């Protein structure tokens, strides 16, 4: 039979152990989930919502510890996720279509379509005499091998009546591509509209001295960049993706409302950027690619199923791919934040 003193000590000991157990459990539950995230490119104005969500602890508030690294092109970002080196990334959706067509079953999906329109474009100088897309026949275009606009060229060429092999591609490092056009070493370059236009301006070329062919203005109805997630994340940690998207979506809304303030988070990550220039770049991305009639109708991050199906077919045909992935294997809207949180005006 237990003495009263022993009984009291026993109960006290159990209470202490239980308390320690609860504290340990709470501490374990509070440990943030680590997520490795790759951008498609270096840190520029459009990187703002990602870096804001990190700097303002929106990810932390969702229980996440997110590592955000710069990238070297959309194809590279897709590869980083496909190999398991990264959990999630920001990449051109058309690069994902190509990846899935060539390597079916990777299980990577887009989960938040930020760029509702493809930003791809071809740039040339007025002095070159190139005035319309068909004038590019036989010309040399410079771009990095991994450039999303270069990879989407076949879709543009098909729309404007050119053979996809109508031009010669000169591979160039992204740090010198704009210089090649400025120095007239090539006839044209390809890239993202908001990236190369401002880069060329920074090199002394006025917008009035350029001829620009934005793909979307020539009937290329493709989606642009999406957040992608690995098969492992989708199958085993969907709640982590949902948490990431809630934090990110909150930052997107703030970025849309005040691009100038948002760019300061890019400046904090890379002190060498030109804040006014990057603010313009971000504003262009917002107005051309993010806040669109479709995103106003469906909410940020969502896609139109019929349009997506058509865009997949168009990419497969233009790229000369053998397999046509089902749109449902490439994108899911099941993990998006609540519709009310994604409303945009």
- 33-117+223-341 and 120-217 share one fold: yes
Taking a C-beta distance cutoff of 8 angstroms, is the pair 315, 323 a contact?
Answer: no
Contacts of 320 (CB under 8 A, 6+ apart): 154, 164
- DSSP string spanning 13-30? HHHHHHHHHHHHHHHHHH
Question: Whole-angstrom Cα distance, residue 187 to residue 306?
Answer: 37
Pairwise CA distance, residues 22 & 32, whole Å: 18
Does residue 19 surpass a pLDDT of 50? no
**Predicted pLDDT at 72:** 86
- Sequence ranges of the domains in the chain: 33-117+223-341, 120-217
For the domain with range 120-217, which CATH number is right: 3.40.640.10, 3.40.605.10, 3.30.70.260, 3.40.190.10? Answer: 3.40.190.10
Q: Which pLDDT score, from 0 to 100, does residue 319 have?
A: 86
Q: What does the pLDDT average to over 315-327? A: 92
Residue position matching structure tokens 């990236």: 195
Tokens of 175: 């740090």
The two structure tokens encoding residue 285:
């991305």
* C-alpha triplet 82, 87, 88: angle, nearest 5°: 90
User: Which residues are CB-contacts of 1 (< 8 A; sequence separation ≥ 6)?
Assistant: none
Taking CA atoms, 302 is separated from 87, 250, 295, 305, 322, in Å, by 21, 15, 7, 9, 27
pLDDT band per the 50, 70, 90 thresholds, residue 340: very high
| Burial tier of 328 (Cβ tally within 10 Å: 0-12, 13-18, 19+) | exposed
Q: How far is the C-alpha of 227 from the C-alpha of 210, rounded, in Å?
A: 32
How many residues are present in the chain?
A: 345
DSSP state of 153: H
The C-alpha atoms of residue 9 and residue 212 are separated, in whole angstroms, by 82
> In CATH, which of 3.90.1300.10, 3.20.20.70, 3.40.190.10, 1.10.3720.10 is domain 33-117+223-341?
3.40.190.10
pLDDT single digits (tens) 253-286: 999 999 999 999 999 999 999 999 999 999 999 9
Using an 8 Å Cβ cutoff, are 225 and 93 in contact? yes
Rounded CA-CA distance 329/93 in Å is 12
Mean pLDDT of the chain: 92
Q: Distance between CA atoms of 180 and 171, rounded to whole angstroms?
A: 11
The total of other beta-carbon atoms located within 10 Å of residue 308's CB is 20
Given this model, what pLDDT does residue 148 score? 86
Which of 58, 56, 38 has the alpha carbon at shortest distance from 47? 38
The whole-number pLDDT of residue 108 equals 98
pLDDT number for residue 30: 65
CB 304 within 8 A of CB 333: no
Q: What's this model's pTM, rounded to 2 decimal places?
A: 0.88
Quote the crossing angle between the two packed helices 305-319 and 93-102, to the nearest 10°.
60
Number of DSSP helices (H) and strands (E) in the chain, helices first: 15, 10
Residue range 196-207: mean pLDDT, rounded:
94
E-strand ranges in 71-167 read: 88-92, 109-113, 120-125, 140-143
Give the residue, 115 or 28, on which the prediction is more confident: 115
The mean pLDDT of 71-77, rounded to a whole number, is: 89
């Amino acid at each position: 039979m237990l003495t009263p003193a022993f009984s009291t000590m026993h109960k006290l000991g159990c209470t202490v152990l239980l308390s320690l157990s609860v504290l340990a459990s709470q501490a374990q539950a509070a440990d943030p989930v680590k997520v490795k995230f790759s951008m498609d490119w270096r840190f520029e104005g459009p990187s703002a919502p990602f870096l804001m969500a990190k700097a303002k602890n929106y990810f932390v508030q969702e229980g996440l510890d997110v590592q955000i690294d710069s990238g070297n092109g959309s194809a590279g970002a897709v590869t980083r996720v496909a190999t398991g080196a990264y959990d999630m990334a920001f990449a051109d959706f058309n690069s994902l279509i190509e990846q899935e067509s060539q390597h079916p079953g990777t299980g990577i999906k887009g989960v938040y379509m930020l760029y509702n329109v493809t930003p791809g474009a071809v740039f040339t100088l007025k002095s070159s005499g190139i005035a319309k897309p068909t004038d590019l026949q036989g010309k040399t275009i410079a771009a990095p091998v991994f450039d999303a606009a270069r990879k989407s060229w076949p879709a543009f060429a098909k729309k404007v009546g050119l053979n996809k092999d109508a031009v010669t591609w000169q591979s160039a490092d992204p740090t010198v591509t704009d210089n090649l056009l400025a120095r007239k070493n090539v006839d044209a370059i390809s890239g993202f509209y908001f990236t190369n236009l401002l880069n060329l301006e920074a090199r002394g070329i006025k917008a009035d001295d350029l001829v620009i062919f934005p793909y979307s203005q020539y009937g290329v109805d493709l989606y642009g960049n999406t957040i992608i997630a690995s098969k492992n994340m989708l199958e085993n940690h969907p709640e982590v993706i949902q948490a990431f998207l809630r934090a990110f979506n909150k930052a997107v809304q703030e970025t849309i409302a005040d691009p100038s303030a948002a760019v300061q988070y890019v400046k904090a990550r890379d002190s060498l950027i030109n804040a006014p220039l990057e603010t313009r770049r971000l504003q262009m991305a917002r107005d051309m690619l993010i806040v669109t009639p479709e995103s106003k109708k469906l909410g940020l991050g969502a896609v139109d199923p019929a349009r997506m199906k058509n865009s997949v077919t168009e990419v497969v045909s233009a790229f000369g791919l053998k397999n046509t992935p089902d749109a449902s294997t490439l994108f899911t809207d099941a993990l998006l934040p609540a519709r009310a949180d994604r409303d945009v005006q």
